[in-house]
Chains A and B, each alone.
Chain A
Amino acid sequence: MTGALGRRAARLWGQATPALLTTLLVLPSILPIESPGIGEIAPMLTVMAVFYWSVYTPELLPPWLAFAVGLLQDLVSGGPVGMMALILVLVATYVATQRRIFLSRSFVVGWGGFALIALAVAAGSWAVASLYFASLLRPAPMLLQALITVMLYPGLVWLLARAQITMMRQV
């Protein structure tokens, strides 16, 4: 009985891993970390996590969960409320429909695909924020942000893959 219960708890825990990890990745963008050189630009870690889980286990990170994480990020970061929610829902939905392309090919193809999505997110968020604030924002910080995010992709994917392997042992 306890064995069965324990197994069920472990399974639940495993199934919650994608959502929990994605939520956790909201934090680094808010904490006052001093990053010499790049200043105020933080990588879009949640976009990366949503991309990753939407490719490998889309059923564990459905669009509504992506929405919730985005909303949390919006509320805590003080940006336009709903912007990251919108972006993460769109990324989750789009990537889940195209996941075959990313699954079957090599790592480099996945990286390239993510780079395109990061660029689209930068352009999209620039457009949305410009509309929201009713003024043309400088696009350079957003492009820089996308660039940094793409450069960090291999590292974070490695970490998320480790988490996924641990998780699969439990599910």
Chain B
Amino acid sequence: MPIRVMAQRFATLLLVAAAVGLMLLGRADNPVVERLRLAVVDAATPVLAALSEPIGTINHAIREVDELLFLRERNAMLREENARLLQWQAVARRLEQENAQLRALVKARPDPLPAYVTARVVGDSAGPFVRTLLLNAGQRDGVKSGQAAVVAEGMVGRVLEAGERSARILLLSDLNSRVPVMIETTRQRGILAGDNGPQPKLVFLAASARPQIGERIVTSGHDGMLPPGLPIGTVVSTSGDPRVELFARAERIEYLRLVRYEAPRLPPPARDGAQAAQRR
């Protein structure tokens, strides 16, 4: 009898040691742990995709009721917004033409236009530790880690890891999220750092930068994976580290687009350059 008890205790100790060992390995970004995670998520994605379909319908119904309740007010608000946007449209058209003329004048090289992959959100990790979304698109659809995930309102996060047919998005609010950004008007750069709270903060701003409440924050495109100018949010507080209210609300997203953006690069070294030239 005591032997059995001892064996059980030993087994428990082994399991605890295994769990702690796994955490240490994961912390050190061990490739085995990463591959295991990708494999499990790849296998689970079809199941999650099937299950999230009816949930999407339920969420829709809830939203529908919510919208019916506030139909009148929303209508008035939208009409006002529409009028304002029409004015902006006129301004944008004029600027677009002017911009094109100026570009032609100075022979500016335009940035490459990004391509998009649209994917459905099949899961979100609702833990208090991480802010991620699971998508039903992966490497076979052209998803790569580092790509930006956007919705109509703005940027949501970026691809953390991409499996064969699934990908995980690290939301901007996650503790580990760091995105190079700039203040839209002043073009001063900084880093948007998440802390698992609803409003990420701006860090590493230039000492002279004084972000004002209400100023728009956009991506700066300085890491080569994100196109510059993706809208992110507005500054809402400036005491201590400035906080940013995000345009996109992550909990209501069903579909999002991944930006396949290749930043212009310097030509590769001579040897590879010859090969690249041949390919062309």
Residues of A near any B CB (own CB < 8 A): 27, 29-34, 36, 39-42, 63-64, 67, 70-72, 75-83, 85-86, 89-90, 93, 125, 128-129, 132-133, 135, 137-138, 141-142, 144-145
Query: A32-B121, A64-B11 are known contacts. Are A80 and B23 too (CB-CB below 8 A)?
Result: yes
10 contacts between A and B (CB under 8 A): A30-B123, A32-B124, A32-B133, A33-B59, A34-B62, A42-B126, A67-B18, A67-B19, A76-B125, A78-B37
Residues of A contacting B149 with CB < 8 Å? Answer: none
The answer to whether B33 touches A81, judged by C-beta atoms less than 8 angstroms apart, is: yes
Report the nearest B residue to A94, measured CB to CB. Answer: B12
Residues of B contacting A40 with CB < 8 Å? Answer: 124, 126-128, 131, 251
Query: A31-B48, A76-B40 are known contacts. Are A85 and B19 too (CB-CB below 8 A)?
Result: yes
Report the nearest B residue to A36, measured CB to CB. Answer: B62
The answer to whether A89 touches B125, judged by C-beta atoms less than 8 angstroms apart, is: no
Residues of B contacting A42 with CB < 8 Å? Answer: 126-127
Kindly state the separation between the CA atoms of A152 and B74 in the bound complex, as whole angstroms: 35
Report the nearest B residue to A33, measured CB to CB. Answer: B55
Residues of B contacting A89 with CB < 8 Å? Answer: 12, 15-16, 19
Kindly state the separation between the CA atoms of A113 and B132 in the bound complex, as whole angstroms: 32
**Residue of A67, A79, A82, A132 with most chain B CB atoms under a 10 A cut-off:** A82
Kindly state the separation between the CA atoms of A22 and B124 in the bound complex, as whole angstroms: 19
Residues of A contacting B197 with CB < 8 Å? Answer: 138
Q: In which size bucket is the chain B interface?
A: 35 or more
Residues of B contacting A135 with CB < 8 Å? Answer: 175
Which of A29, A33, A64, A80 sits near B27, CB closer than 8 Å? Answer: A80
Which of B15, B196, B254 sits near A63, CB closer than 8 Å? Answer: B15
Q: Is B70 an interface residue when CB atoms closer than 8 A count as contact?
A: no
Kindly state the separation between the CA atoms of A2 and B259 in the bound complex, as whole angstroms: 58
The answer to whether A34 touches B19, judged by C-beta atoms less than 8 angstroms apart, is: no
Kindly state the separation between the CA atoms of A100 and B37 in the bound complex, as whole angstroms: 38
Residues of A contacting B25 with CB < 8 Å? Answer: 81
The answer to whether B128 touches A82, judged by C-beta atoms less than 8 angstroms apart, is: no
Q: Is B224 an interface residue when CB atoms closer than 8 A count as contact?
A: no
* Least Cβ–Cβ distance between A59 and chain B, in angstroms: 11
Residues of A contacting B15 with CB < 8 Å? Answer: 63-64, 67, 85, 89
The answer to whether B252 touches A34, judged by C-beta atoms less than 8 angstroms apart, is: yes
Residues of A contacting B125 with CB < 8 Å? Answer: 29-30, 76-79
Other A-B pairs, 14, CB within 8 Å; known A82-B23, A86-B19, A133-B129: A30-B48, A30-B126, A31-B48, A32-B52, A33-B59, A40-B131, A67-B15, A77-B132, A81-B22, A81-B37, A82-B21, A138-B196, A142-B128, A144-B128
Produce 1/0 per residue, B31-67, CB < 8 A to A. Answer: 0010011001100100010011001100100110000
The answer to whether A31 touches B59, judged by C-beta atoms less than 8 angstroms apart, is: no
The answer to whether B23 touches A81, judged by C-beta atoms less than 8 angstroms apart, is: yes
**Residue of B19, B37, B59, B168 with most chain A CB atoms under a 10 A cut-off:** B19
* Least Cβ–Cβ distance between A93 and chain B, in angstroms: 5
Which of B16, B37, B130 sits near A75, CB closer than 8 Å? Answer: B37
The answer to whether A30 touches B23, judged by C-beta atoms less than 8 angstroms apart, is: no
Residues of B contacting A81 with CB < 8 Å? Answer: 22-23, 25-26, 33, 36-37
Query: A76-B41, A82-B22 are known contacts. Are A90 and B126 too (CB-CB below 8 A)?
Result: no
* Least Cβ–Cβ distance between A37 and chain B, in angstroms: 11
Report the nearest B residue to A88, measured CB to CB. Answer: B19
